[in-house]
Amino acid sequence: MDGLHHVQLAIPPGAEDICREFWGDVLGMTELEKPPVLATRGGCWFRCGGLEVHLGVEEDFRPNRKAHPGILVTSLQALAKRLEDKGVSVTWDDNFPGHDRFYAFDKLGNRLEFLEPVRE
């Protein structure tokens, strides 16, 4: 294996604008143009650095409350403040040795983990 290409999270039909607000405006990720054959399915894709998040429409949508992507970031404290300033709650968790981390939920209820290695 050579790495991870993308993470996909489910969204309900018609939730693309909510995703654009959270993933684009709040997190500052760049929306990607989906290939035409896939664009007909709805959803949207975002990229920042080496991370791609694909948000795919699921008719019987239920948010992931436990399963989640673990997203490595720099400036974790600044990201937490940005999220809180935008009305997103963060829950800090210090139970992962060697990393600072917190959990948050996107605007659809999907759980997300953001973490940064502790610098010694």
Side chain identity at residue 91, one-letter code: T
List, for residues 33-59, the tens digit of each pLDDT value: 999 999 999 999 999 988 999 999 999
Burial of 3 (0-12, 13-18, 19+ CB in 10 A): exposed
Q: What is the pLDDT of residue 2?
A: 82
**The pLDDT of residue 3:** 81
> What gap in Å lies between CA 83 and CA 9, rounded to an integer?
19
pTM for the structure as a whole = 0.93
Structure-token match 């018609």, residue found: 14
What are the pLDDT digits (tens) for 85-118?
999 999 999 999 999 999 999 999 999 999 999 9
